[in-house]
Amino acid sequence: MSDNVNHSQHYPRPPFPKQPQTPPGLASEMKPIPDHGETSYKGSGRLLSKKALITGGDSGIGRAVAIAFAREGADVAINYLPEEESDAETVIELIRAEGGKAIPIPGDIRDEAFCGALVEKAVQELGGLDILVNNAGRQQYCESIEDLTTDAFDATFKTNVYAPFWITKAALRHLQANAVIINTSSVQAFKPSAILLDYAQTKACLVAFTKALAKQLGPKGIRVNAVAPGPYWTVLQSSGGQPEEKVQQFGADAPLGRPGQPVEIAPLYVTLASDACSYTSGQVWCSDGGTGTL
């Protein structure tokens, strides 16, 4: 778990400097750089000998989950886009430096064939698969439906909806009883912003996907849950996920007065992945800084 510092007082609060990036962006270029748990997350052996595949594991919430899983004793494979290689290298080096097993698998999950290859490579390199985290996401704001192109709409759905379907389907032949699937949804599924029309739809899709799949796989002893983040300080926001003026004030309207840091949501994923939550399935757990969306 993370340390006992009073994070509400010590974590950065808006306003933040202007920092537009070309998507998908790099966490290393954010100001301030997010806390993914590089030094603050302390493990306690809750995932010993588990083998996990995490999409979008180079930065943001996926990176925090990868670090947390590794510190809890899991072997980890992360997927990311080739353009995010420098961020991914940092995560891989960090995990390996502490003696953990970390497998980098770059590639675009909007391609069905790659999704299948991703799972097979992860299983081969890890020696099995116990935990699948469908976390990678695409978020690009658009002020009006009239300006939202079919290509952009398609790219968001391919990343956020099709890819989890393809990856999960490919993973099922490798998942045994007590395996876990965790999907990253969003508060946008329940309280959508006008400028995130396509993104909000995809995150609502993941809620239904989670609940229906949990019913399908329950008899096999496989649990399926989702996490719904609120405003978290990740490169998804500064690389086109929000208008620049909103990035500068990001998280200001949350009751805690700031955005969450990725390390602060990683414990939810750890808990859902652990055997301690063996009766929890079909659930959506929210972390939104006190807004109480769920």
Stretch 217-222: mean pLDDT? 98
Q: Do β-strands 75-80 and 102-106 pair in parallel, antiparallel, or remain unpaired? A: parallel
Name the active-site residue from 41, 199, 232, 269: 199
> What is d(CA 204, CA 186) in angstroms, rounded to the nearest whole number?
8
As for how many domains the chain has, the answer is 1
4 band by pLDDT with thresholds 50, 70 and 90: very low
Q: What is the pLDDT of residue 9?
A: 58
For the chain, percent helix, then strand, then coil, each to nearest 5?
45, 15, 40
141 catalytically annotated:
no
- 7 has pLDDT over 60: no
Whether 1 maps to a domain, the answer reads no
Q: Tell me if 206 is assigned to some domain.
A: yes
Q: State which residues form the domain around 57.
A: 45-287
Residues 223-273 pLDDT 10s: 999 999 999 999 999 999 999 999 999 999 999 999 999 999 999 999 999
Q: Domain with 242 in it: what CATH number?
A: 3.40.50.720
Residue 121 lies in a domain: yes
**Is residue 2 predicted with pLDDT exceeding 80?**
no
* pLDDT tens sequence across 71-92: 999 999 999 999 999 999 999 9
Is there a domain that residue 50 lies in? yes
Flag whether 86 is in a domain.
Answer: yes
- Residue 147 covered by a domain: yes
Predicted confidence (pLDDT) at residue 128 exceeds the cutoff of 80: yes
* Domain annotation covers residue 21: no
Please count the helices (runs of H) and the strands (runs of E) in the chain: 10, 7
Residue 6 has pLDDT above 60, yes or no: no
What per-residue confidence (pLDDT) applies to 5?
Answer: 47
**293, part of any domain:** no
Q: What is the mean pLDDT of the chain?
A: 95
Helix (H, G, I), strand (E, B) or coil at 34: coil
- Structure tokens that stand for 218 in this block: 């329950």
Selected residue with higher pLDDT from 10 and 282: 282
